[in-house]
A and B are shown apart, each in its own frame.
Chain A
């Protein structure tokens, strides 16, 4: 210890004692501080956890009420033979495998008639893209649509809407303009559901570039069934 080499013994001892006490207290304080920090930190995720739990509770509650009412409906039917046929028809309908009819809205989207030359920079603004169809369909489902068809393609659980060159593939089937989307549901609610930013943006394109973007109510729409799917990977299992 060269630092203390020429100090007398007494001072040396005293200094060492002082330093030791200091170091000990510092250590003790540091550990106390760390604990306080740890305690302080748990509060943030705890509040977040409370919110998350509330959401989960709400979700589970809603889901259980729906399941309960379906179960009650199934159990209340006393004619067994009828019930089997009914259950099957009901499931087929939910799977979009039944043609349906009812009131709703018809949305028409079409490319502009004043199309500039194909190599013009802004030619994209004059044509209907697959995303427009997806956004409109999403909005209609949100508005409580019960069945949707685009041209002759019923929108089911498995329906993809993608672009492939100059055509839009729906259910892997090429579709071309004009695109007619029919949705069955409460006509007023469906129309209201289209009042969102994306629709406004399409209306602006209609104004500026001449694309077609219209919605009209209809009291009687016919929507075809979708095609059954053979499953190769998914196996039904019990929940949980």
Chain B
């Protein structure tokens, strides 16, 4: 019987020993690799976050000043209504209304290799929403207007309005659309089942959504109003 105890103690000792081994190995890793890097990284992130907060505050200031400046000298109520209509159409006004929120999760894919959802899928979704009479659309915060091209930049960045729309280092997408909910959902059916079949997680909910304004600006260097 005594040797049974010895066996038991030996097993404990072996487990114990190997744990110490793994533990100290882990600690070495954590100590040497992480500590200084982690501190520097945390610092970089903090400063980046601060600059982003400042930029966001500045953007709020600018958009509200612009809203005022665009209408400032228009006193005729008919013209004010027209102005509101034009700025919904060119996307420079942020809008709110009933519609749908579509979230697409790409996580099954190899993030290093680039997104599973491609630009063609996004263009199809946008086209389906447009033909369903969507009054405003955004993809990951970028308002979709006439000139919004959806293209790849390099191997792993999707660009809309010439800015990257990848979010928080992973490929997830949020498409917002304002319009008649039943029509929007009906038109999306085909595109959504297509994406789900290829293994993506897609959720669609009816919601009151806030679609941000288009901030890229318009340039007319070649097109002149016809006389």
A interface residues, Cβ below 8 angstroms from B = 3-4, 6-7, 11, 15, 18-19, 22-23, 25-26, 29-30, 32-33, 36-37, 39-40, 42-43, 45-64, 66-71, 74-75, 80-81, 83-84, 87-89, 91-104, 134, 138-139, 141-142, 144-148, 155-162, 169, 172, 184-186, 222-223, 228-240
Contacts and interface: CB of A to CB of B under 8 A. Distances in A.
A98 B23 CA distance: 71
Contacts of A52: 166-169
B82 to A, nearest CB: 7
Contact of B12 (A22, A83, A141): A22
B115 interface: no
B58 A237 contact: no
A46 B49 CA distance: 13
A185 B56 contact: no
A155 B42 CA distance: 46
Contacts of B51: 57
Contact of B13 (A22, A81, A232): A22
B227 to A, nearest CB: 8
Contacts of A97: 86, 89
Interface in B186-227: 210-213, 215-226
Contact of A48 (B19, B169, B179): B169
A184 B178 contact: no
B38 A46 contact: yes
Contacts of A71: 62, 65-66, 69
A104 B222 contact: yes
Interface of B: 1-2, 4-5, 8-9, 12-13, 15-16, 19-20, 22-23, 26-27, 29-30, 34, 37-38, 41-42, 44-45, 48-49, 51-52, 55-56, 58-60, 62-67, 69-75, 79, 82-99, 123, 127-128, 130-136, 144-151, 162-164, 166-170, 178-180, 210-213, 215-226
B70 A91 contact: yes
Nearest to B151: A142
Contacts of B218: 93-94, 146
A56 B222 CA distance: 31
Contacts, number: 307
Nearest to B19: A29
A30 B19 contact: yes
A114 B144 CA distance: 39
Which 10 A-B residue pairs are closest in the complex by CB-CB distance?
A160-B131, A48-B169, A22-B12, A95-B89, A94-B90, A66-B217, A142-B149, A91-B86, A160-B130, A63-B215
Nearest to B38: A43
Contacts of B162: 62
Contacts of B12: 18-19, 22-23, 26
B48 A141 contact: no
B86 A239 contact: no
A19 B135 contact: no
A151 to B, nearest CB: 16
B169 A240 contact: no
A155 B144 CA distance: 13
B149 A141 contact: yes
Contacts of B220: 93, 100, 146
Given A91-B87, A223-B223, A240-B60, 14 more contacts: A11-B2, A42-B38, A46-B41, A59-B164, A62-B163, A92-B86, A97-B86, A102-B224, A147-B223, A185-B222, A230-B85, A233-B98, A234-B97, A239-B63
A114 to B, nearest CB: 29
Contacts of A184: 222-223
Nearest to A56: B52
B120 to A, nearest CB: 8
A36 to B, nearest CB: 4
Q: Tell me which of B2, B66, B73 has the highest count of chain A C-beta atoms within 10 A of its own C-beta.
A: B73
A6 B66 contact: no
Query: Which of B1, B64, B162 has the most chain A CB atoms closer than 10 A to its own CB?
Result: B1
B16 A29 contact: yes
23 contacts: A22-B16, A40-B29, A58-B163, A60-B52, A60-B56, A62-B163, A63-B163, A75-B69, A87-B74, A88-B74, A95-B86, A99-B225, A101-B226, A134-B127, A146-B222, A147-B223, A148-B146, A184-B222, A184-B223, A228-B85, A234-B88, A235-B97, A236-B93
